[in-house]
Amino acid sequence: MGKKITCFTLVGLVFLSYFNLTQALELISEKASKSQNINDYKEYFLETFDNKTLKNNKIRDSRNTIWKINKVEGQENSITDNGALELGGAQYMQRAVLDEKLWDNKQDYAMEFTINVQSMGNVGHSGRPIAIIIPRTKDKSFNKYYAVTYHMENTYMGAIIANMYKCKWAIINTAAPTKTEALVEGYYLLRENVDYTGRLVIHNTDEGNVNIKFYIDGPTNPSEEYKPLLEYTDSSSYKIISSEAGPAFGMAGYSDDGWGYSPIVRYDNIKLYELDEYRKYEKQLKEYSKIRPKDIKLHEKYGEIQYLINRGIFSAYFDGTFKPDRNIAKMEFLKMLIRLKGERYLNDKDYIERGIKLGIIDKKDIVFLNSPINKYDAALMITRYFGNPSADRTYISNIKDRRDIKDKELLNSVLFTYYEGYIRLNDDFKFMGEEFINRSKGVSILMRMIDDGYRKVNYSLELPHVLSSGAVLQRNKKIPIWGRGVSGETIKVKFRKQVKTAVVKNGHWYLELEPESHGGPYTLTVSSKKDKITLKDIYVGEVFIVAGQSNAEMYLNECNDAEETKKKLMNKEHIRFYETQQIMAVRPNFTTIGKWEASYEWAIDWSAAVGTFFIEKLIELNDDLEDVPLGVIPITYGGSTIELFMPNTITEEKNFVQKDNEPIMSGFWNGFMESVAPYGAKGVIYYQGENSTQLGYKYEPLLRDYLRGFRKEFKDINLPFMLVQISGYGDNSYENDVDTWPIIREVQMKVANTTDNTGLVTSIDLADPDPMEIHPKEKKPIGVRLAYLAMDMIYGKDLGYKSAEIKSYKFADNKVIVDFDYTFGSLYIKDNTAKGFQILDSNGKWHRAKARVNEINNTVEIWCDSIPVPQGARYAWNNYPSNSLYNNVDLPTLPFRIVNAPDSTTSNILKITNHMLNNHDAIVNLTRDNYFRVVNRLDSNTLSHEYAIKDQASGDTIVKLLRLENARAQDGTTETSIKIYNHGLSVGDWIRNNTRRWEARRVDEVLDKDTIVVRKITDQGSGDDISRYQFNGETIAE
């Protein structure tokens, strides 16, 4: 550094006061005593896994075994390139146990470690944790132990479990009858490929009990104070007073051979402290956590800034601010680098001495230390920090302003810090070394130095697994090809006669090949400066995506009429099926393990049945497809609600913030669906809704968002979607409107009819004979119907094969007369027995009805002899509906529901377009003295409430409220404050006290997570039954 490099110019001297310059010059000649590190605590064991080997389940240094890992089927463990222990693949729990001599038989001790989740897997529970940390075990075989676990927890959405997983931490004692059940639990969500700092303290108390504390901190959710996430004192007879083995770090895999994917977890920087030493360290941690700069809470890098403050690497100024835009001085940057090593000193002099000793600076740099640091300076100091490694010169030409750098050491440092990802090139691939680094940018650099996941922007050439040998590419439209590489380098793709290139930006590249006609097999090559990937056996043809939940996923060998289809398609080289791991993730994955397979017997057996039946019929209907390669890509997951499939682009658009204690939004999209986008496709089959029935009309905006987001992610706004209307399941409520499955079917029809390039086929007649079986085996008719729909929607050939659909209706005397589209000449009632028809009376009750087809005008007349003036009619409008009305091509008529509702708002009727409310939700009429009413839905635009609101009319301002689960008021409840554990309410939400005259109140104040304040309710107290309602927006009555 200093005079020999261009970055340390006289500009720096402007920033030096006379006093500091004199002081610096004195430091050069002073023979100072040895610098004193004021971090006066020290661990008694440190493991970084650097220079360690893992072989035969033993982790060794050059002489000794340090850790032993139990043998488990399927385990895939390694020491990573950046020096971390990675555990994965195991079917059951595996753990790395520290050698007893190194543990030193410490019973009371503390540990600190880094944990990094690479993959969550796909399912889990308290007995199948993603990560497990064991501080004490009663036996060396680890049957009875204390542990801190991190695991997935499935949650109820209404009465439905819909794979909306939360992740929680727990302390367990497997020596107790509770086994792996939580003794205490808390929420703190780990994002993939981010390093988090965990701390665990265990000790025996003076009373003879065992106290365990667990802390967790990280850049995505930094701790706002130093306190444990979990604490438990075990005073039971099952407490474990002493351990028979050293601490262990592990994970648990899938529970059986047929289901599940194991998580992958990394551990690193493991430190063990004697308690006295840890108390000294803890004292510093408490002081760091008190530093809460007042100007960073809304900053985009708040999490990283506060996390580095919590670690003592950054601090605030005396005025309590962080000043993220202020330039960093070289002296300040030097301190940060030294603090990264866990060292702290009292004064600048000691930091300078230590910096010289470490080789980060030399004496002639001292006079420049108070000047602002630029990117050149930082590159030199970082490279020296790591011991001046020689950079790989392969990618030097990627740095467009490299010729500005004349000094060899500086050029090496620039290349090293660019390639390792510590300092980024700009959008023009220039290093821009003279640019100063402010504190915000300094935070980014330091985060990249401590966390490989933050700095990784340069990769060996890589393609997502969906772009692999054996693939079918979509014909007659541009072909997306994408991957990862080294930022700034040019990637070349060759396919048939085409050669296309793309430049890598921030580690990623994307290009599109020009459309190709069908054919194959071909070879596709992708090359960079150092690497080349060759994909063989590539076909060009038609690609269809099958998306949804278990009925979309259901395998061909589980369905009726599969053998004939299998014989017809088996061993056809040009028919391909893609298979991928189905995992969950908090953040989108670039790729997920997957593979293309030809139509071998086993591949067809395990293919998505609706997709396979679909292509079979499509080939039959479309002669042009006889020799065209066909590919089917399933992106499905059973038992899941639509929120799990929501494209990441939608959550970003809506500024969704994932909270620690809430289910993981877009979990399966992030895990394995994102990695398929933007693969070229002809169309998409979407068969989902069974596990979203709890949403009611709220399903509609979600379905619309899903379609829009999917098309955006796949870079095709006109991508055809074929919806499958869900079939029957469950119990029926015949007299009222509480059934939820008909709402999903209604939404599916509405979206299909009002969204471009979207169609629908029904499976209303294909339910299993057992109403409690949610997986009907009749999937072939669905595939057939989808093929006819595709011929119309996609290939422009309407073959006259679709379900009849209500066109109009009228009330005439005691009948409701319904007219239909798509009768294809006639309608008929199967077996001459009208089933599934009902009539609505004036009291809002539904009754079984009669029906007949008027063969003259092809309408259907519906009536009930006991109801002279019907108020509505419906058909196949139950969870598990009967159906009997078919058209001339033997397809079932789509369900319908008709209500003779007023055209505008009245005293007990509300007209609100797309109100999205369900039965037992509520409204508040702000125009009419804030009257609160529980509502019933009449249709998607009409609500009723039993008790009238005087003068209610169109133009009134209405608050919409979504009902949450009821709760009991707890001790401490008064007439104006209500205690409910984890009430989940915000200001503007409402409650109704069902014990006290059903009085409703707005939440005026939230005191804490367990306490809300409302206007006085006389005699309100603990034990009262409280209905909770969540604010869902204001609207105007129509």
Q: How confident is the model at residue 35 (pLDDT cuts 50, 70, 90)?
A: low
Q: How confident is the model at residue 259 (pLDDT cuts 50, 70, 90)?
A: low
Q: What is the pLDDT of residue 155?
A: 86
C-alpha span between 319 and 298 (Å, rounded): 18
95-125 pLDDT, tens digit each: 999 999 999 999 999 999 999 999 999 888 8
| pTM across the whole model | 0.91
Residues 6 or more apart whose Cβ sits within 8 Å of residue 203: 107, 108, 109, 210, 211, 275
Terminal C-alpha separation, the chain: 74
Tell whether the model's pLDDT for residue 657 goes beyond 50: yes
277-293 pLDDT, tens digit each: 999 999 999 999 999 99
Tell whether the model's pLDDT for residue 149 goes beyond 50: yes
- Tell me how many degrees the CA angle 704-710-713 measures, rounded to the nearest 5: 140
CA distances from 561 to 49, 613, 615, 765, 877 (A): 56, 10, 15, 17, 29
C-alpha span between 564 and 3 (Å, rounded): 82
CA distances from 376 to 415, 435, 704 (A): 11, 8, 50
- 21 burial type by CB count under 10 A (0-12 exposed, 13-18 middle, 19+ buried): middle
Instruction: Report the length, in residues, of the chain.
Output: 1038
Q: How confident is the model at residue 919 (pLDDT cuts 50, 70, 90)?
A: confident
801-829 pLDDT, tens digit each: 999 999 999 999 999 999 999 999 999 99
Q: How confident is the model at residue 256 (pLDDT cuts 50, 70, 90)?
A: low
Query: What angle do the packed helices 330-340 and 439-450 form, to 10 degrees?
Result: 20
870-907 pLDDT, tens digit each: 999 999 999 999 999 999 999 999 999 999 888 899 99
740-769 pLDDT, tens digit each: 999 999 999 999 999 999 999 999 999 999
CB 88 within 8 A of CB 264: yes
C-alpha span between 981 and 989 (Å, rounded): 16
Q: Which two three-digit tokens encode residue 274? A: 């004697």
Tell whether the model's pLDDT for residue 727 goes beyond 60: yes
Q: What is the pLDDT of residue 10?
A: 34
Q: What is the pLDDT of residue 258?
A: 57
- 1020 burial type by CB count under 10 A (0-12 exposed, 13-18 middle, 19+ buried): buried
C-alpha span between 677 and 183 (Å, rounded): 42
* Domains by residue range for the chain, with CATH: 2-40+292-453 (no CATH), 45-283 (2.60.120.560), 472-536 (2.60.40.10), 540-793 (3.40.50.1110), 805-899 (2.60.40), 909-1036 (no CATH)
Q: Which two three-digit tokens encode residue 879? A: 């969870």
